[in-house]
């Protein structure tokens, strides 16, 4: 009986954890212009450095993204991506880091 209860509790914890992470804003950085080349998806809360600057897509789904022209979200915030809608730019961008507000 204990094994069943432990397994059920473990399964419930996994479902609860993945349900909370299902919707989050995402910044997709592309190596090349026009959404080409390698890409990276950034969706974690807090500061992330952006490795590619060729173009980007933003999927606003609850959290805003504060954009910085310096690594590690240092200096003055340059722009804020909205929490409730998407954005994109097909040409190179100068942003070096993002702070996703959660």
pTM, two decimals, is 0.77
CATH number assigned to the domain comprising residue 47? 2.60.20.30
Query: Are 27 and 42 contacting, i.e. CB atoms less than 8 angstroms apart?
Result: yes
Taking alpha carbons only, the member of 28, 82, 80 closest to residue 55 is 28
> For residue 9, is it within any domain?
no
Within-domain flag for 3: no
In a domain, 17, yes or no: no
Into how many domains does the chain fold?
Answer: 1
User: 27 - beta bridge partners?
Assistant: 42, 58
pLDDT value at position 69? 97
pLDDT(17) > 70: no
pLDDT tens digits, residue range 39-98? 999 999 999 999 999 999 999 999 999 999 999 999 999 999 999 999 999 999 999 999
- Is residue 7 included in any domain, yes or no? no
Which structural domain range is residue 59 located in?
24-101
């Amino acid at each position: 009986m204990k094994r069943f209860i432990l397994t059920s509790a473990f399964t419930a914890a996994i479902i609860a954890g993945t349900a909370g992470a299902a919707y989050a804003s995402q910044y997709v950085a592309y190596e090349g212009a026009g959404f080409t080349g390698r890409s990276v998806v950034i969706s974690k809360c807090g500061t992330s450095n952006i490795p590619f600057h060729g173009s980007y897509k933003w999927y606003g789904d609850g959290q805003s993204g504060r954009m910085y022209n310096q690594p590690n979200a240092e200096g003055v915030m340059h722009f804020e991506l909205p929490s409730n809608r998407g954005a994109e730019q097909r040409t190179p961008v100068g942003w070096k880091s993002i702070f996703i507000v959660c």
